Amino acid sequence: MIELEEAIDLLVNSVKSKTETERLDILSASGRIAAEDVTALFPVPHFPKSGMDGYAVRSQDTRGASKETPIHLQVIGEICAGEYLSVSAKPMTAVRVMTGALIPEGYDSVIRQEDTDYGKEKSAIYAEVRAGQNYCGIGEDIEAKSLIIPRSTRLEAGHIGVLASMGIMEIEVFQKLEVGIISTGSELVPLAGSLGKVGVYPSSAYALAAKLKEQGAQVTFMEICPDDPELFFSMLDQKIGQADVIITTGALSVGKKDFLPEALEKMGAKRLFHGVNMRPGTPVMASEYKDKLILSLSGYPLAAMVNFQLFFWPVMAKITGDESLFGKKTTRTVVEGSTNEANRRRFVQAFCDEAGVHILERKHHSSVLSGILSSNCIIDQKQGTVILPGETVEILYWK
């Protein structure tokens, strides 16, 4: 049995970054990982524009203006967004401009219309403005040739908007991480099947698949395998080429039907580890077979989710280059609930909000999955400790 951090290091060091790419239109690329650096083709904005409705003015012409002593400027034109007007600034003149409109050359600021009398031919100015006020200069948002999206960035709505602002229609992205799931257990029944008296639906597999899809991975297959090593051999060899990583659940411990460790060993798989000093999910195992990683999780639903949270995301981060997947712990104060003493490092379901951490008054057994519905994080409880209200704890948010 090894420690959690050592197991994670073994996993991360066993996989390589994914290099295959594809070119997608920018909307299809949302949620994917950029495979190239993207630089700005031109400055944004590429013309000086108004930050609000008002008047483009020379700031020096507004000095001393107030409600009591207004300054009157001649209005020589009006420009709305998307319009062009060829005028040059002259002393004591102004141009009526709307938000986003071009500011003609020679004007260095915009006075908001609320500080004027809204004049059409002449306008009374009731306040001073400084140079650059309400004025968006060329390249103020994005400078030409600047790096706007680094390689390995997960593309979100803001990135897509920036690409669109450049007129960029396509981007190179890494191909999706392909993951296959094999749930072991003769008690497992497909969702379309009848449970009968002792059947169980494969809830862990569906929860894992949903998590994978949320983070941009592609689930290439979901299979159920009875407690039969020969059937597992056949299934694994048939499916191994369809995924970058294979996740299995169940058949890991020391029970009569826990065949997986011995079966993988007989197949020639290289074992990275089997058993980690933690609860739930102590018997978690990792193996390499035909250059593919097999991550074997506990058969108990909650234990499987904890195993997955702690071990899979660092693997996916390494393969995809998406560093946002690395779990980052934070410290918060417990405001409600407590735990018993942990005789082994333990991960406890909890809910964290602005007030602090609430330890759920639910059963924390490995077989209970429903607590995830009301939790948003897990507490890292150190061996030999008790957690009480008022104590500071380390938490890791569920992805």
CA–CA distance, 284 with 299 (Å, rounded to integer): 10
Q: 49-136, superfamily in CATH?
A: Molybdopterin biosynthesis moea protein, domain 3. (2.170.190.11)
* Residue 256 neighbours by CB distance under 10 Å: 6
Question: Quick one: angle between helices 260-267 and 229-239, nearest 10?
Answer: 60
Domain ranges in the chain with CATH number 2.170.190.11: 49-136
pLDDT in tens, 121-135: 999 999 999 999 999
- Which residues in the chain come in under a pLDDT of 70? 254-257, 362-370
CA–CA distance, 81 with 179 (Å, rounded to integer): 49
Write out the two tokens for 377.
């994080």
Q: What is the predicted pLDDT for the residue at 327?
A: 81
CB 325 within 8 A of CB 316: yes
Q: Which residues of 74-113 are buried (b: 16+ CB within 10 A; e: fewer)?
A: ebbeebeeeeeeeeebeeebbbbbbebbbbbeebbbbbbb
Three-state SS for the chain is CECHHHHHHHHHHHCCCCCCEEEEECCCCCCCEECCCEECCCCECCCCEECCCEEEECHHHHCCCCCCCCEEEEEEEEECCCCCCCCCCCCCEEEEECCCCECCCCCCEEEEHHHECCCCCEEEECCCCCCCCCEECCCCCECCCCEEECCCCECCHHHHHHHHHCCCCEEEEECCCEEEEEEECCCECCCCCCCCCCCECCHHHHHHHHHHHHCCCEEEEEEEECCCHHHHHHHHHHHHHHCCEEEEECCCCCCCCCCHHHHHHHHCCEEEEECECCECCCCCEEEEECCEEEEEECCCHHHHHHHHHHHHHHHHHHHHCCHHHCCCCEEEEEEECCCCCCCCCEEEEEEECCCCEEECCCCCCCCCCHHHHHCCEEEEECCCCCCCCCCEEEEEECC
Domain spanning 4-18+176-325, CATH class = alpha beta
Write out the two tokens for 73.
């400027």
CA–CA distance, 109 with 209 (Å, rounded to integer): 54
Q: What is the predicted pLDDT for the residue at 372?
A: 77
CA distances from 113 to 96, 165, 166 (A): 9, 28, 31
Smallest CA-to-CA distance from 110 within 158, 45, 51 is with: 51
CB 245 within 8 A of CB 14: no
Q: What is the predicted pLDDT for the residue at 367?
A: 53
pTM: 0.82
Architecture label for domain 330-397: Beta Barrel (2.40)
Domain ranges in the chain with CATH number 3.90.105.10: 22-42+148-174
CA–CA distance, 181 with 243 (Å, rounded to integer): 9
Q: What is the predicted pLDDT for the residue at 161?
A: 95
CA–CA distance, 163 with 392 (Å, rounded to integer): 43
Domain 22-42+148-174 has CATH 3.90.105.10: yes
pLDDT in tens, 217-246: 999 999 999 999 999 999 999 999 999 999
Domain ranges in the chain with CATH number 2.40.340.10: 330-397
Question: Cis before residue 280, ω within 30 degrees of 0?
Answer: yes
